[in-house]
A = this chain, B = another copy of it.
Amino acid sequence: MPEYKAPLRDIQFVLNDLLNSEQHYAGLEGCEQVSPDVLNAIVEEGARFAENTLHPLQKVGDEEGCQFEDGQVTTPTGFKEAFKLWGEGGWQALGVPEKDGGQGLPNSVGACISELAGSANWAFNMYTGLALAPVTCLLNGGTEEQKQRYLPKILTGESAGAMCLTEAHCGSDVGLLRTKAKPNGDGTYTLSGTKIFISGGEQDLTDNIVHAILARVEGAPEGTKGVSLFIAPKYWIEEDGSKGDFNHITCGSIEKKMGLKGSATCVMNYDGARAVLLGEEGRGLDIMFKLMNSARLGTALQGLSMSEASLQGSITYARERLQMRSLTGPKNPDGAADPIIVHPDVRRMLMTQKAFTEGSRAFVYWLAQLVDHENYGNEEQKKEAEDLLGMLTPIAKAFCTEVSQEVTNLGMQVLGGHGYISEHGMEQIVRDGRISTIYEGTTGIQALDLLGRKVMGSQGALLASVTKRIHKYCKANSDNESLQAFIEPMQALNKEWGEITMHVGEKTMSNPDELGAASVDYLMYSGYVILGYLWMQMANVAQREIAEGSTDPLYKSKVATAQFYFDRLLPRAQAHKAAIMAGAESTMSLTEEEFVFV
């Protein structure tokens, strides 16, 4: 694997220069404890854990994978010990309120730690992330008694968790699910059914596993309205928190996958498992809603994590590998050839990786702050954050993971044949990251949520919450001469965004397929605009520092990367616009049968 070093300097830039973390936390009731010193200390400690404990297990996780025998799952060497350290270090409880037994740190702090742990070893990150699934469900839908009973051992890392939604015939279409819940008359239910693609459904890291399961109570209506949310541990948990009997939750098999081989993806059988209902019957998806949003942000973050890991690997290689001479004359005259970083096309690849990676970090960290506003802000902040997150969460999930495919594949490409062999670890990053555009709602599902539910569903109000913000920023900086190269194209795009939306909206009224045919290109267009908005801000901040005399090369790098983004990546928005404006006709004109001619 490429050696992983936590990108602390860039994280500081985003947290301090771009997002003014100090003021952010100081202004939020319940977050005042996150002083700059505290934040720094946590992030540096997380960096050490990621670099020293998790990263050394990344390759072994891929090579050994998980093994399945007689219903038992064996995780790769070292995962169990690392999971124990993770729990003991308090990382699992980081974002859980103090009153519920956690560390009470805001979401945005957890996002940093997840980035670091994720770049170091995403397969491991699956177990810690999924352990939070029942936690989030309990915090949102559980009674005090339920929280006290099921949370504590997850927070210490003695137990883990799983989120059990997908069934063989039911992926994106949750309403089709068949797992049954039968009331026992004592307030508990008995579950029966089979779930697939359950990450961490079974493992050997922890004594117990708490499953959050979507199921249908006997007699419930069809579709999503009949879906309820349950908690069922692998071993029953008694009132006093002690471990009870085996609860008839078994693993039928694990999947062989393209990547994330260290993460067990299980077929889970519930053969009469005892479960408790969270909230009301038929309201399972309402409680899941917050979990789904945090899972989407968490997956956007996977895009960032994989991008960062790949960028580090390709930069290191490009500086070391000697091959051919620079077109402008030898740069390493004493060597047999120049390092390939001198070649403009290698630069193009590295700069593309850099612009998307650092842009994704700004994007995800910004949204994490908005989640802090949602959780800790005043009414006005909450409302604003809710609108922005409604609009931006699907964009972040799909865009940061889609561009991450490009970034990680460019990372391989920089290494040439050495990228394709396993030794350097670059191809593992591609394989591990490939799932990110699929799980937690595919790019297509995010795009329908964005354009259908959010933009059209709010009659443009949620879009306006974003475009107004961009407009305001451009206007506030209109007398800043050195920022005009960014402001002018951003203002034009911002206006165009609204026009495109109107156009699609009108066409959709006569043909609903127009919405679906435009949706992914609309999402990608939106993503390019948002990243442009963020790069404009980063350029502004950096230019200001340079004007004030800073010679920190980071600031020069930020201005150059912003310019690269506007020069060479942002123009892709126009190709997406053209695809949107072309409409649905040629996309939909073939009959199903006309697709096959062998």
- Footprint of B on A, CB under 8 Å? 5-10, 166, 169-173, 176, 197, 255-259, 265, 312, 315, 319, 322-324, 326-328, 336-337, 339, 341-351, 354, 405, 409, 412-413, 416-423, 427, 430-431, 434-435, 437-439, 442-444, 447-448, 511-517, 519-521, 553-554, 556-557, 560-561, 563-564, 567-569, 571-572, 574-575, 578-579, 582-598
Contacts and interface: CB of A to CB of B under 8 A. Distances in A.
Nearest to A564: B586
Given A513-B328, A575-B572, A348 B258 contact: no
A435 B420 contact: yes
Contact of A560 (B421, B443, B590, B597): B590
Contacts of A259: 420
Contacts of A348: 517, 520, 587
A328 B511 contact: yes
Given A327-B512, A347-B588, A567-B582, 10 more contacts: A171-B418, A327-B513, A341-B592, A345-B520, A420-B434, A553-B594, A557-B597, A560-B590, A567-B579, A571-B578
Contacts of A585: 563, 567
Given A351-B587, A587-B564, A597 B554 contact: yes
A337 B9 contact: no
A596 B176 CA distance: 49
Given A6-B598, A169-B322, A443 B413 contact: yes
Contact of A172 (B323, B413, B422, B571): B323
Contact of A346 (B342, B409, B444): B444
B437 A413 contact: yes
Given A513-B344, A590-B560, A439 B417 contact: yes
Contacts of A417: 166, 171, 197, 435, 438-439
A232 to B, nearest CB: 22
Nearest to A345: B444
A171 B516 CA distance: 45
Contacts of A342: 592
Nearest to A63: B256
Most buried by B among A265, A337, A348: A348
A169 B337 CA distance: 10
8 contacts: A265-B421, A319-B592, A326-B513, A327-B513, A343-B444, A344-B515, A571-B574, A571-B579
A351 B586 contact: yes
Nearest to A318: B595
B258 A420 contact: yes
Given A327-B516, A351-B587, A587-B568, A597 B423 contact: no
Contacts of A322: 169
B568 A586 contact: yes
A289 B439 CA distance: 46
Contacts of A589: 560, 563
B421 A257 contact: yes
Given A169-B336, A587-B351, A255 B568 contact: no
A569 to B, nearest CB: 8
Nearest to A259: B420
Given A176-B337, A587-B564, A597-B9, A256 B423 contact: yes
A521 to B, nearest CB: 8
Contact of A315 (B560, B563, B596): B596
A420 B7 contact: no
A435 B327 CA distance: 26
Contacts of A596: 315
A591 B328 CA distance: 15
Contacts of A438: 412-413, 416-417, 419-420
B255 A516 contact: no
B258 A430 contact: yes
Most B CB contacts (10 A, CB to CB) among A315, A422, A431, A439 go to: A431
Contacts of A344: 513-517, 519, 584, 587-588
A434 B319 CA distance: 24
Contacts of A563: 585-586, 589
Contacts of A514: 344
A430 to B, nearest CB: 7
B595 A315 contact: yes
A319 B595 contact: yes
Contacts of A319: 592, 595
Contact of A347 (B171, B346, B517): B517
A581 to B, nearest CB: 9
A448 B557 contact: no
A427 B346 CA distance: 27
A354 B586 CA distance: 13
Contacts of A346: 444
Nearest to A571: B578
A570 to B, nearest CB: 8
Contacts of A257: 420-422, 427
B584 A345 contact: no
A448 B324 CA distance: 12
Q: Which 10 A-B pairs have the closest CB atoms?
A: A344-B516, A571-B578, A567-B582, A327-B512, A344-B517, A258-B427, A5-B598, A563-B586, A564-B586, A256-B422
